[in-house]
């Protein structure tokens, strides 16, 4: 059963068409990834789901209800650009944001204590946000997002600016929320980051959906035609390869996508002739590769500030 249903939405800002004819569905108990480069229309779409913006055409429903003040209560939203009132105390701030999401004061206080404990931050309650480090205030923002126990959690670039330890902590809690039957909705342009977490994806480019569905199925549809090669020596042989596209190239590593019927073994043979090969593996293509081969290198839109 789909929790969020987006049907044929359009949104323009003046002459700029930010979102064009976008449709997708998000299922319960799964992690959904909205992927695409900067300026593809991800944030605009998310704002429309959050009823911050209203589509020019098309409809969005949450649990079958058209989006509006009621559906806002069901959603916890962590925007990409985030912040808090610097002069307010952590406890008051969470209380305020929780009450705006419909919590009673007493219930909100209980949950604030619970979550601060979970993050080992109980003694922050009376601190002003201005005194907190960046990592600390990101935790507070995360708590603010899930304080009202929303059915749907929307995270826009959740891992940006987090150190590895906090990223892991966040991942664990997100997976825990998923297991409790929440809908997790990611938006990111760093595809490799969510590749491991997402079950369903929707690829955006230039305001349109270019690919959507179950991630595993999409990958297997593309086949095991990518070669990972680690080597020692002169890498110029890579330039003479025909019918391939090379991603992630560095001095001793290359991810080679085979575009025609070339046998991967022939690539290995050429590599062995001029270098010491440490690793040779055929795998499914990465999401980045899938994205590039879907939209074509020339069609990837460049960053348009203000739309992401």
Partner 1 sequence: MNWNKILIVVQREYLTRVRTKVFIISTLLIPLGLIAYIGLIIGLQFWESEPEHTIGIHDQSEVIIPRLLSRDSNRYLDMSGYPVSDLRDQLLNGEINGYITLRDEHITGNIDLEYIYTGSSTVTLQSSIRSDLREAIREERLARAGVSEDVRAIFESGITLESRKVTESGAEEEDQTAFYTALGFIMGLMIFIALFMYGTIIMKGVIEEKSNRIVEVIASSIRPVELLVGKILGITGVALTQFAVWFLFSTGILFAAGPVMMMFGGDAVQESIAAETGGAAVAFEIPAIDPFLIAGFFILFILGYFIYSSLFAMVGSTVDSEADTQQMMMPIMLLIVIAWIINVEVMQNPNSTISVVSSLIPFFAPITMVTRIAINPVPVWQLLLSFFLMAGTIYGTLWFSARIYRVGILQYGKKAGFKDLLKWLRQG
Residues that bind partner 1 (CB under 8 A): 13-14, 47, 50-53, 69, 72, 75, 77-79, 81-88, 96-97, 99-101, 141, 144-145, 305-306
Residue 40 token pair:
């593809």
Residue closer to partner 1 by CB (options 144, 210) is 144
Q: How far is the CB of 25 from partner 1 (least distance, A)?
A: 21
Residue closer to partner 1 by CB (options 181, 305) is 305
Q: How far is the CB of 47 from partner 1 (least distance, A)?
A: 7
Residue closer to partner 1 by CB (options 13, 114) is 13
Q: How far is the CB of 158 from partner 1 (least distance, A)?
A: 14
Residue closer to partner 1 by CB (options 34, 75) is 75
Instruction: Report the 3 state secondary structure along the chain.
Output: CEEEEEEEEEEEECCEEEEEEEEEEEECCCEEEEECCCCCCHHHHHHHHCCCCCCCEEEEEECCEECCHHHHCCEEEECCCCCCCCCCEHHHHHHHHHHHCCCCHHHHHHHHHHHHHHCCCHHHCCCEHHHCCHHHHHHHHHHHHHCCCCCEEEEECCCCCCCHHHHHHHHHHHHHHHHCCCEEEEEECCHHHHHCCCCEEEEEECCEEEEEEEHHHHHHHHCCCEEEEEEEECHHHHHHCCCEEEEEEECCEEEEEECCCCCHHHHHHHHHHHEEEEEEEEECCCHHHHHHHHHCHHHCCCCCCCCC
Instruction: Estimate to the nearest angstrom the gap between the alpha carbon of 73 and the chain centroid.
Output: 22
Q: How far is the CB of 129 from partner 1 (least distance, A)?
A: 9
Residue closer to partner 1 by CB (options 155, 231) is 155
Residue closer to partner 1 by CB (options 47, 111) is 47
Q: How far is the CB of 175 from partner 1 (least distance, A)?
A: 23
Q: How far is the CB of 37 from partner 1 (least distance, A)?
A: 18
Residue closer to partner 1 by CB (options 92, 199) is 92
| Distance, CA of 20 to CA of 12 (rounded, Å) | 8
Q: How far is the CB of 11 from partner 1 (least distance, A)?
A: 10
């Amino acid at each position: 059963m789909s929790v969020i249903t987006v049907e044929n939405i359009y949104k323009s800002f003046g002459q700029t068409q930010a979102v064009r004819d976008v449709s997708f569905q998000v299922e319960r108990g799964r992690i959904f990834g909205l992927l695409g480069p900067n300026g593809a229309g991800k944030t605009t779409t998310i704002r429309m789901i959050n009823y911050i913006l209203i589509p020019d055409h098309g409809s969005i429903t949450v649990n079958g209800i058209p989006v509006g003040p009621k559906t806002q209560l069901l959603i916890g939203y962590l925007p990409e650009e985030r912040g808090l009132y610097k002069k307010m105390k952590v406890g008051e701030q969470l209380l305020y944001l929780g009450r705006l999401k419909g919590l009673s004061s007493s219930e909100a206080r209980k949950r604030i204590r619970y979550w601060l404990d979970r993050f080992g931050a109980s003694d922050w309650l009376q601190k002003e946000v201005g005194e907190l480090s960046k990592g600390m205030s990101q935790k507070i923002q995360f708590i603010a997002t899930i304080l009202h126990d929303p059915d749907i959690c929307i995270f826009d670039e959740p891992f940006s600016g987090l150190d590895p330890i906090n990223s892991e902590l966040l991942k664990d809690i997100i997976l825990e929320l998923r297991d409790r039957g929440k809908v997790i909705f990611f938006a990111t342009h760093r595809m490799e980051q969510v590749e491991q977490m997402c079950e369903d994806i929707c690829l955006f480019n230039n305001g349109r959906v270019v690919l959507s569905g179950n991630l595993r199925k999409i990958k297997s549809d593309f086949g095991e035609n990518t070669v990972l090669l680690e080597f020692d020596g002169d890498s110029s042989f890579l330039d003479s390869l025909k019918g391939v596209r090379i991603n992630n190239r560095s001095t001793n590593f290359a991810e080679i996508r085979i575009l025609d019927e070339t046998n991967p073994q022939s690539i290995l043979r050429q590599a062995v002739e001029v270098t010491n090969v440490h690793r040779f593996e055929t795998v499914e293509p990465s999401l980045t590769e899938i994205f590039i081969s879907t939209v074509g290198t020339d069609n990837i839109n460049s960053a348009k500030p203000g739309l992401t």
